[in-house]
Amino acid sequence: MITVYHTSEHRGTEYIIYAVGEDQWLGDGYYFWQDFEFAREWGAIKKYTSFDIYAIEVNLNFDTDEDVIDTVFNEIDYYKFVDKIEYFARLYFEKFNDRPTLQEFNNFIQDYDIWKGVKAMRFQDLPANNKKDFLKVTGFYYKKRIQIVLFDMSLLIKSTITHTL
């Protein structure tokens, strides 16, 4: 069991958002921050007038579960995942003489039901540039901005709004 955090604009509801769209790094799913401080930071980055931070309990264990991909802390998962992306990109380039987009990679994986059994992925977002209060050493991005995407909604066990800011 792990606790993760979700930030969304305050809407007066108590639902977390299922993210869809072309800018989702790992396709459609429920996206969370692993650390509270980045969930809080995300609300500031998005410049929401008011936002909610949810603490979500998820029935997930990245150390023992086999149906998860952990590209942040598991070296094998990371390099295997990188291999797949670049393999796809090579084939795509051979076929179309162009680079695939993020959305095309995600479309391909989902269109062909590849990795349908994968329940969740952990990955690292880019360093933030516009709010660095959580960094204790200026200019040193020593903290991973870790995100988790859940594809299996039944993993969500409990949802609590912890902050309305």
Neighbour tally for 124: CB within 10 Å: 15
How far is the C-alpha of 162 from the C-alpha of 56, rounded, in Å? Answer: 10
The residue within the footprint of other proteins, chosen from 24, 59, 102, 104 (CB under 8 A), is 104
Would you say 92 or 125 has its CB closer to other proteins?
92
Stretch that binds other proteins, among 64-72, 124-132, 138-146 (CB under 8 A): 64-72
Whether residue 41 contacts residue 90, with contact meaning beta carbons closer than 8 Å, is answered with no
Q: Is 111 in the site for other proteins (CB under 8 A)?
A: yes
80: contact with other proteins by CB under 8 A? yes
Strand partners, 121: 69, 149
The amino acid sitting at 136 is K
Strand partners, 148: 32, 122
Question: Is 69:121 a contact under the CB 8 Å cutoff?
Answer: yes
Q: Is 93 in the site for other proteins (CB under 8 A)?
A: no
Residues that bind other proteins (CB under 8 A): 14-16, 18, 20, 28, 36-37, 40, 55, 66-70, 74, 76-77, 80, 84, 87-88, 91, 95-96, 103-104, 107-108, 110-112, 114-118, 133, 153-154, 156-165
